[in-house]
Amino acid sequence: MILQPVPQFDSKSVPPSSPSGHAGATPIASAALRRVVEQTSKVILGKERQIRLALACLLSRGHLLIEDLPGVGKTTLAHVLARSLGLGFHRIQFTSDMLPADIIGVSIYDRESASFKFHPGPIFSQLVLADEVNRATPKTQSALLEAMEEHQVTAEGESRRLPEPFFVIATQNPSHQVGTFPLPESQLDRFQMRLELGYPDRAAERALLQGVDRRDLIASLEPCVTPAELLALQGAVRQVHVSPALVDYVQALVEYTRRSPDFVNGLSPRAALALVACSRAWATVEGRDRVIPEDVQAVLPGVAGHRLHPVVNGVRRTSSDIAVGLVEAVPIP
Amino acid sequence: MRSEEVVRGPAGRLHTPRRLATPASARMRALLARSQLYRIFFGVREPETGTIFLSQRRVYILPTRHGVVFGLALVLMLIGSINYQLSLGYVLTFLLAGMGLVSMLHTYRNLAHLYVSAARAEPVFAGDLARFQLYLENPNRFDRTALWLHAGDGAGSTDVAGRSGATVQLPVPATRRGYLQLPRVTIETRYPLALFRAWSYVHPDARALVYPRPADAPLPPARSIPDTGAAVSAGIGADDFAGLRPYQPTDSPRHIAWKSVAHGNDMLTKVFAGRGAEELWLDLAMLPAALDLEQKLSCLAGWVLHAEREGYAYGLRLPGTARAPGHGPAHRDECLKALALHERAP
Amino acid sequence: MNPAPTLANLLVLGVGILLAAAPHVARLPWWVSALALGALGWRAWAAWRNERMPRRWLLYALVVFGIGAVFLSYRTLFGRDAGITMLVLFLALKLLETRTQRDVIIVTFLCYFLSLTNFFYSQTIPTGILMAATVLVLTAALVGFSGPTRPVARNFRTAGMLLAQGIPVMLILFLFFPRVPGPLWGMPSDAYSGMTGLSESMSPGDISALSQSDAIAFRVKFDGAPPPKKALYWRGPVFWEFDGRSWRPGSVPNPGDPQFDPLSPPVTYSVTVEPHNRPWLFALDLPGRVPPGAQLTADFQLHARRPVRTRLRYDMSSFLEYRTAGGSAEALAAARALPSGFNPKALALAGQWARGAGSDEEIVLRAVDFFRRAGFGYTLSPPPLGHDSVDDFIFGTKRGFCEHFSSAFAYLMRAAGIPARVVTGYQGGEINPVDGYITVRQADAHAWVEVWLAGRGWTRVDPTAAAVPLRIESGLAAAVPRGEPLPFLTRPELTWLRTLRFNWEALANYWNQWVLGYNPERQRGLFNRLGMPDTTWQTMAQMLFWAVGAVTVAFALWLLRKARPRDAAHAIWLTFCAKLARRGTARGAAEGPRNFADRAALAHPRAAARIRAIASLYIDLRYGPERDHGGVARLRALVRGFRA
């Protein structure tokens, strides 16, 4: 058998709309998406695939975890996405002395009204960049993760809804770095997807070095979609068709992870749901109204990578290794 | 459609390249490696990863002893029919012959086109049985009955209903610590008439972790943690107040000594002691030099289990590595794994 | 890997053994049946209660005892009956030492063999059905032993399926396996006991004993319309010698050649004679042809070279009117010989006729007249006769059967100086309206007389017909007075039953003709019809090999076909992938349709557009929102027309 290379997606290889005549998602939506991708790609060079994945993650209403070494553009990506999507944006730099209130906000006694007034924290924003989330203590982390799960925060016994849409893009350094509190497994599961950016390739890096300052670029970015369009896009994602044959494939993948000797634990039902949701979003980003196995394969490393723990047999294996092995091992039914 | 062969042929691994250097012989070698004879005589040496498909080329079939006896019985019946001119005798003999022939195909079909993949194998202690699990998947509509699997001395059997899967457990004795590779597995069947035996060899890449056999030895003395000042005394509950230490940002606010803060002192954190605060270091070097390495590791494994049972926080120190004190099943398994793989290439 | 057999499967095997052995029980010594049943019961009990089986020494003792007892019963250990008895015994005892499934499987094979032995005695349709059921049960047991987890009902289904799938090979082997005529070696002496038919002598009571039998003697199919019933005299053994009580063939000096002048056109027909372990074949008076392997004696008997031990079919023609050539003086003298010291009254009566008549014909007519008027009665249970049997019959009891009439008439003729002989055979027969075959039964056995008349030769006279005309015109049932026992099926009130029987016998005849009667000749006929005359056995063996091989390969292809997806579009897609794989572009197991299409399009640039179209349509059908059946057809057309 010939081992297939990991499916490589770039905008050029996406085939033109099929001759049988079905258009993708609504044309306006796909045009808006294309603009977002194009604009982001101008800032983050040579990372179009990761940009699309990040976009898919947000469109599937999931939170994104970007894990990589410092300085490869994690923060910039989050920033650019926020600008391009026209979302309210807050950045929280996590540190070890940070308290939950620093995120959620505090009630302060207001002399004028003679009552406690709640000052919302930075989490009350449509897009929250939680930078270096693994530097904070578990307590602070769990405050963030609770907010991510519930889309609301509870302070002083009162629940407050977070704005809609609400996304968290968290970045973390690889956990073997010193002074970090790695996110526990149960909380990693809250992130729909985990991405690794990696170093840019030679050409991209050259362009980066020769080009304008990124900060100036970001400042000059204009939103590509209106909030209404974004909501419509999210609605379109939910409309993407998932056929029984595709569900078979997802089930085959999940069942394989559960019985394979390569993993400590298999994928949870929540992970399977995330896989389907991200596949739908990816299909939307690709401009299709149905999910095909390639979509599942495209998002699988991001969705499954942080949820599967390989049984280490001496060789260190990265999450994308795992996903590639998984794709290879499970035939498409 | 699945691929016929997931296996990549172990081309030429058994031959020295010097003797078979010419391209022709290399080609021969490649051919040989792919041939059935090669498989029959040498087996598949390399463990196969992923899902293994029992293609028709991998399934062999021969008559059983019973099949031979059945054939002889048919010959006798035929002679009787000829001698006595029994038309119905011919009918019966030929019907049974036809049935036997068809049963050969059914036996073959019972095994062919099956998907085999390895499933998890839980870690065991040396001397126990490692229970390997193989997952058999039947893509066809018909049921597969009475499949026997054996590897070494371990054997298991199962039926696989149509379009479903089944897990078979193969107990294999784990004699030494480290990783135990599942030996080559023979899958065979004689169903439906036991006249033929169809079999196939698979060698899935499945390994079970084998911990050293735990020896029963008394625990070494525990050592109190110096900087907490906790008293070394057995039987104290985990919630008993043991002392104060400087505040660290991760400390729970419940444990902050607010009284002391009120007095204008620095923030202090209350420390509670129980056995959890006693650190037990299990060190290979503590063991008498008279023991050999395996005995020492056995002893350490016994200690790990003992310490876990008694509720100590225990750490493990082996030449070259150390594991910080901890407690709980995950920690115990980590320690046992370190012992299992000590000085043993994975 | 070799556990003890389950109780349910043992029970199935037990039923199989009982079915296979049941028809033998009537033939086995009672103690064998009892011993076998006991062993079976013991084994069932042991399996049910999980008790231990008998010890080995006990089994050996039983075996030795059994062999001894069989020897005492049969005076031999070989031969058919003794062999079967031994088989039953051994089977029962073997079952008592089966502990593992492997042992039991051997028992099952023995049972197959035991089933076959039933055909030594009977190959009728009911036996065939019973043995088919037996084989089904045994096979179900065999399936159960190799798949112990399955429920018994499903074992039966599997067994039925296996047997059904064995039928094509069975048919090929049955039709084309080279048939060898005759036994391979000398048969045991008891091989043919129990066949009924006419015997080599005739004494009062012989034929009436046969007349109670519904068994079929032979079947006849006429090429045209059959002659009237009263002309159907099927000639069998001819008796010349009378010792006062029994008629025997005797030795006829200088018998001459069987010559006669036919006076009517021949009738042609074919006869299928049931085995009766005697050499004679039957034909209408007088036979005009000699079947292969037979000969015609001077008194027009057809003799086969060997006793008829298998069903035999031959074509015949006969002349119903004839004039025989003159016999030699010695033969005529033998036909006048009478034992002295018997039947004085009959001698006197014959002397009286002879003195008052002008010619032999006149004497014969007077004698016939005497039989017609003397008030003879026909009965199947004649009163016993004394030393002067003819006198007692003519003047005393006056009740008798055909052998009494013919014996008395022939005696009277000889006493009057006219050469006479007794001919036995069958008279009449029953036409089966279903298939047009005439069935002649043992109940139709008959005896008549031939007298020698100058100028006419041997002339048939049937005194029974004279005395009881109904016997010849309407058959046995009409001739026998009411209230006398009749063969069950000849009773007139059972018309519906007879209709049923006609159908059944037509079926049985078909069975005999085509299943049981499939012999080397029929096989040769089949090969002739297939356009391969003079086929040697080597050719047959080759044909057999290829035919069985072809059937097996066909079955293998059918059984080992790949699991076909339920989704039609997916099945077509797999065909497409297979086509591309033959072109060197094989789809990986985990390769999605779009990726594969892209790769294939690169590899086959000229077909790129078509590859993409197919993949896109497939994606629509399999992953798209609605199932479009027109799309499936379109996809099929696209893939069918695809050439890379």
Q: Are residues B229 and B182 in the same domain?
A: no
Tokens of A7: 């499916």
Question: CB B84 to CB C191 under 8 A?
Answer: yes
Contact B193, B159 (CB under 8 A): no
From C360, C404, C446, C577, active-site residue = C446
For position B75, what pLDDT does the model report?
Answer: 94
A246 interface with C at CB cutoff 8 Å: yes
- Which residue of A134, A259, A312 to mutate against B (max B Cβ within 10 Å)? A259
Rounded to whole angstroms, the Cα distance separating C292 from C594 reads 78
B21 belongs to a structural domain:
yes
Rounded to whole angstroms, the Cα distance separating A286 from A51 reads 12
B50 belongs to a structural domain:
yes
Question: CB A243 to CB C589 under 8 A?
Answer: no
B108 belongs to a structural domain:
yes
pLDDT greater than 90 at residue B234 = no
Q: Are residues B184 and B228 in the same domain?
A: no
The lowest-confidence range among B233-247, B328-342, C24-38 is B233-247
pLDDT greater than 50 at residue B235 = no
Q: Are residues C551 and C634 in the same domain?
A: no
Tokens of A171: 């970045």
Residue of B nearest to C180 (CA): B82
DSSP secondary-structure letter at A176?
T
C514 belongs to a structural domain:
no
The lowest-confidence range among A278-292, B154-168, C174-188, C307-321 is C174-188
The pLDDT mean for chain A works out to 78
Q: Are residues A172 and A313 in the same domain?
A: no
Please say which residue of A217, A237, A257 terminates a domain. A237
> Chains that contact C by 3+ CB pairs under 8 Å?
A, B
Chain A residues with CB under 8 Å of C594 CB are 15, 292, 294
> Chains that contact A by 3+ CB pairs under 8 Å?
B, C
- Which residue of B6, B117, B120, B269 to mutate against A (max A Cβ within 10 Å)? B120
The lowest-confidence range among A15-24, C150-159, C377-386 is A15-24
B333 interface with A at CB cutoff 8 Å: no
Q: Are residues C285 and C336 in the same domain?
A: yes
Long-range own/partner contacts, residues B321-326 (CB < 8 A, 24 or more apart): B325/B279, B325/B280, B325/B281
Q: Are residues C233 and C103 in the same domain?
A: no
For position A50, what pLDDT does the model report?
Answer: 86
Among C597, C598, C616, the residue with its CB nearest the CB of A20 is: C616
Q: Are residues C230 and C334 in the same domain?
A: yes
Q: How many CA atoms within 13 Å lie on the side-chain side of C612? A: 18
A1 belongs to a structural domain:
no
The lowest-confidence range among A204-213, B108-117, C156-165 is A204-213
pLDDT greater than 80 at residue A327 = yes
Q: Are residues A71 and A117 in the same domain?
A: yes
Question: CB C590 to CB A290 under 8 A?
Answer: no
Q: Are residues B54 and B165 in the same domain?
A: yes
Q: Are residues C478 and C586 in the same domain?
A: no
More confident: A42 or A23: A42
For position B226, what pLDDT does the model report?
Answer: 46
Task: Give the range with max mean pLDDT: A202-216, B37-51, B161-175, B250-264.
Answer: B161-175
pLDDT greater than 60 at residue A17 = no
A56 belongs to a structural domain:
yes
Question: CB B250 to CB A139 under 8 A?
Answer: yes
Q: Are residues A215 and A248 in the same domain?
A: no
More confident: B20 or B294: B294
pLDDT greater than 80 at residue A238 = yes
Residue of B nearest to C126 (CA): B88
Q: Are residues C218 and C88 in the same domain?
A: no
C627 belongs to a structural domain:
yes
Chain A residues with CB under 8 Å of C616 CB are 15, 18-20
Chain B residues with CB under 8 Å of C586 CB are 3
Q: Are residues A38 and A164 in the same domain?
A: yes
Q: Are residues B157 and B231 in the same domain?
A: no
Q: Are residues B86 and B56 in the same domain?
A: yes
Q: Are residues B192 and B300 in the same domain?
A: no
Q: Are residues A233 and A269 in the same domain?
A: no
- Find the mean pLDDT for residues A79-88: 84
Question: How many domains are contained in chain C?
Answer: 4
Task: Give the range with max mean pLDDT: A309-323, B225-239, C420-434.
Answer: C420-434
C183 belongs to a structural domain:
no
A28 belongs to a structural domain:
yes
Q: Are residues C21 and C62 in the same domain?
A: yes
DSSP secondary-structure letter at C228?
P
How far C148 CA sits from the closest chain A CA (Å)?
28
For position C164, what pLDDT does the model report?
Answer: 94
Domain containing C357 equals: 206-490
Give the E-state strand segments of chain B in sequence order. Answer: 52-53, 60-63, 115-118, 124-125, 129-138, 144-151, 154-160, 164-173, 178-181, 185-189, 196-202, 207-211, 223-224, 240-246, 268-273, 278-283, 313-318, 321-326
pLDDT tier at C193, thresholds 50, 70, 90 = low
Among A1, A19, A20, the residue with its CB nearest the CB of C589 is: A1
Q: Which residues are C426's β-sheet partners?
A: C234, C445
Q: Are residues C393 and C460 in the same domain?
A: yes
Domain containing B329 equals: 223-238+274-341
Q: Are residues C551 and C485 in the same domain?
A: no
For position A312, what pLDDT does the model report?
Answer: 57
Q: Is C218 helix (H, G, I), strand (E, B) or coil?
A: strand
Q: Are residues A105 and A212 in the same domain?
A: yes
For position B239, what pLDDT does the model report?
Answer: 47
Q: Are residues C417 and C338 in the same domain?
A: yes
pLDDT tier at C215, thresholds 50, 70, 90 = confident
Q: Are residues C228 and C132 in the same domain?
A: no
Per-window interface: A 112-151 vs B, CB < 8 A: 137-139
| pLDDT tens digits, one per residue of B144-187 | 988 999 888 888 888 998 888 888 888 888 888 888 888 889 99
For position C1, what pLDDT does the model report?
Answer: 47
Residue of C nearest to B194 (CA): C146
Please say which residue of A237, A252, A281 terminates a domain. A237
B257 belongs to a structural domain:
no
pLDDT tier at B11, thresholds 50, 70, 90 = very low
Residue with tokens 């590595």: B321
Tokens of A37: 């991708």
CATH number at residue A279: 1.10.8.80
C284 belongs to a structural domain:
yes
Q: Is the pTM of this model over 0.90?
A: no
Question: CB B98 to CB C173 under 8 A?
Answer: yes
Q: Are residues B161 and B278 in the same domain?
A: no
Residue with tokens 């008796």: C239
- Find the mean pLDDT for residues C169-185: 81
A85 belongs to a structural domain:
yes
Contact C262, C217 (CB under 8 A): no
From C299, C391, C402, C444, active-site residue = C402
% of chain C at pLDDT higher than 90:
10
pLDDT tier at B195, thresholds 50, 70, 90 = very high
- Find the mean pLDDT for residues C488-509: 73
**What DSSP string runs through C380-446?**
SSPPP--SSHHHIIIIII-EE-HHHHHHHHHHHHHHTT--EEEEEEEE--EE-TTT-PEEEEGGGEE
CATH number at residue A227: 3.40.50.300
Question: How distant is the alpha carbon of residue B52 from its chain centre?
Answer: 17
| pLDDT tens digits, one per residue of B297-333 | 898 898 888 888 877 888 888 888 888 888 877 788 8
Residue of C nearest to A243 (CA): C623
Q: Is C402 a catalytic residue?
A: yes
Q: Is C446 a catalytic residue?
A: yes
Q: How many CB atoms lie within 10 A of CB C241?
A: 18
Please say which residue of A237, A253, A277 terminates a domain. A237
A6 belongs to a structural domain:
no
C508 belongs to a structural domain:
no
Task: Give the range with max mean pLDDT: B45-49, B154-158, C464-468.
Answer: B154-158
Domain containing A163 equals: 22-237
Q: Are residues A233 and A245 in the same domain?
A: no
More confident: C410 or C213: C410
A8 belongs to a structural domain:
no
B121 interface with A at CB cutoff 8 Å: yes
Residue A197 dihedral angles phi and psi, to the nearest 5°: -85, -45
Q: Are residues A300 and A212 in the same domain?
A: no
Question: CB B3 to CB A138 under 8 A?
Answer: no
Q: Are residues B41 and B124 in the same domain?
A: yes
A212 belongs to a structural domain:
yes
Question: CB C309 to CB B69 under 8 A?
Answer: no
Among C595, C597, C625, the residue with its CB nearest the CB of A241 is: C625
A248 belongs to a structural domain:
yes
Question: How many domains are contained in chain A?
Answer: 2
Question: CB A291 to CB C623 under 8 A?
Answer: yes
- Find the mean pLDDT for residues C79-105: 83
How far C516 CA sits from the closest chain B CA (Å)?
5
Q: Are residues A301 and A233 in the same domain?
A: no
Residue with tokens 């293609």: B55
Least Cα distance to C619 among A248, A278, A246, A13 occurs for A246
Q: Are residues A169 and A45 in the same domain?
A: yes
Q: Are residues B97 and B7 in the same domain?
A: yes
Q: Are residues A121 and A264 in the same domain?
A: no
Q: Are residues C214 and C98 in the same domain?
A: no
pLDDT greater than 90 at residue C532 = no
pLDDT tier at B251, thresholds 50, 70, 90 = low
Q: Are residues B72 and B191 in the same domain?
A: yes
For position A13, what pLDDT does the model report?
Answer: 38
Predicted ipTM beyond 0.85 = no
How far B128 CA sits from the closest chain A CA (Å)?
20
Q: Are residues B70 and B160 in the same domain?
A: yes
How far A247 CA sits from the closest chain C CA (Å)?
10
Q: Is C111 a catalytic residue?
A: no
Contacts of C280 (CB under 8 A, 6+ apart): C198, C236, C237, C301, C302, C303, C304, C308
Q: Are residues B195 and B292 in the same domain?
A: no
Rounded to whole angstroms, the Cα distance separating C356 from C523 reads 63
The pLDDT mean for chain C works out to 83
Q: Are residues A181 and A310 in the same domain?
A: no
Question: CB B250 to CB A329 under 8 A?
Answer: no
